[in-house]
Structures are given as C-alpha cells and as structure tokens.
C-alpha cells in the first residue's frame, strides 16, 4: 500500500473539509519530522490516518475498540470526543493491518498527549495544532513555538486543552495532565 492508497481509503470515510485537514496534518507532520529528526514516512502516514474514525458512528467505533482488545476506563467511556483517537488507532491496526507501534501510539495519543511521548507522538500532536487550515486565536504563537522548541509547543498545546476544557467543566484525561506535568517540570528545571 502506498500513501496514495491510504489517502483514498481515508477520503471515502470523511467529508471534504476533514480530508483536507488530514492532508494538511500529514504535510505539517512531514515538515516537523524533517526538522526534528523523526521518521518522515511514518509521520506522513500517521498524519493522513490520525482522524480516520472521526466521522464514524459511535457504535462502530466501540466495535473497533472492542476488536482491538482495548478496554476503556469509565472516564474514557464518558468522553466521546476522545473515542476517535482510540478507535482510529484500532481501525488502523485491525482494518488496515498496520502493526507499527509508533504509528499506532501517535494516533492513539494525538488528542490527549501523554507522559513519555515519543518524537513521533509529539510531531503528530503538534501538526494537528499547526496544520495549514487552523485559524484559532493563538495559532501563530503555536506555529512559532513549533519551530523553536517541540517540547514547549507540546506544553502550550496541553495548557490550551486544559484551559479550554476546564472553563466548560469538562473532564480532562489523566494522559493530558500527566503530559502537561512532564513538560511543565522539564521547562521549570531546565538549565538556562
């Protein structure tokens, strides 16, 4: 299977705007991978596939998760927005037969981040924030940070997510907190 084959599969699973987002994330992930020394081919694949199940009905997502042998925590079960990252990595594994743990994990943690993120995790996490079509307030700051320091960009991204969710009293995944604390600790203790 080539990247074009995967693009075709993904294009049929979502509306045009999200497909455009997926291609932009792949492109940005390749750029960041080259800049920071990650595997550019894996970054491109993870980028194109990362939202594979974002428009998939919830019952089908649950079936994919079950088939991949993943058991959700009560908090994950109640956070429907997180399902697509988990079911997306399950889809890529069970339906596309991709066994690369780095790619599967990058997709699995692309929404929350986590502690101990791999370089590929970080590249995809940030590419999703800085892809060409993103236009939220603060995107320019994020793009600058992404080019300067990938860890600080991850810290900024997780702080953004935590603020955004907490003002609406939404639940926050432990992975997000754990990732945030790790990057914040790193910044605080960094030798100048």
Cα separation values, 26 from 41, 63, 64, 125, Å: 10, 27, 23, 11
Residue of 86, 126, 153, 173 that binds ligand DGI (CB under 6 A): 173
> Is 51 near Fe ion (CB under 5 A)?
yes
> Is 128 near ligand DGI (CB under 6 A)?
yes
CB 157 to Fe ion: min, Å: 12
Q: Quick one: what does residue 70 bind among ligand DGI, Fe ion, none, with the CB cut-off 5 to 8 Å set by partner type?
A: none
> Is 175 near Fe ion (CB under 5 A)?
no
Cβ proximity to Fe ion, 153 vs 192, nearer residue: 153
CB 54 to ligand DGI: min, Å: 5
Return residues touching ligand DGI (CB under 6 A). Answer: 51, 54, 79, 81-82, 85, 110-112, 128, 161, 165, 170-173, 176
């Amino acid at each position: 299977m080539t990247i074009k084959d995967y693009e075709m599969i993904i294009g049929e699973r979502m509306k045009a705007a999200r497909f455009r987002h997926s291609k932009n994330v792949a492109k940005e992930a390749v750029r960041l991978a080259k800049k920071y020394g990650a595997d550019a081919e894996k970054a491109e694949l993870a980028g194109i596939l990362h939202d594979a199940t974002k428009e998939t009905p919830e019952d089908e997502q649950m079936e994919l998760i079950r088939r991949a042998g993943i058991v959700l925590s009560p908090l994950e079960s109640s956070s429907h927005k997180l399902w697509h990252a988990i079911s997306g990595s399950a889809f890529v594994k069970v339906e596309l037969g991709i066994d690369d743990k780095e790619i599967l994990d990058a997709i699995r943690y692309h929404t929350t981040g986590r502690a101990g993120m791999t370089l590929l995790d970080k590249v995809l996490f940030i590419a999703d924030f800085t892809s060409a079509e993103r236009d939220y307030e603060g995107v320019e700051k994020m793009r600058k940070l992404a080019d300067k320091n990938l860890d600080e960009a991850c810290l900024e991204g997780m702080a953004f997510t935590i603020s955004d969710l907490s003002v609406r009293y939404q639940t926050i995944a432990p992975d997000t907190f754990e990732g945030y604390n790790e990057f914040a600790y790193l910044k605080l203790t960094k030798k100048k």
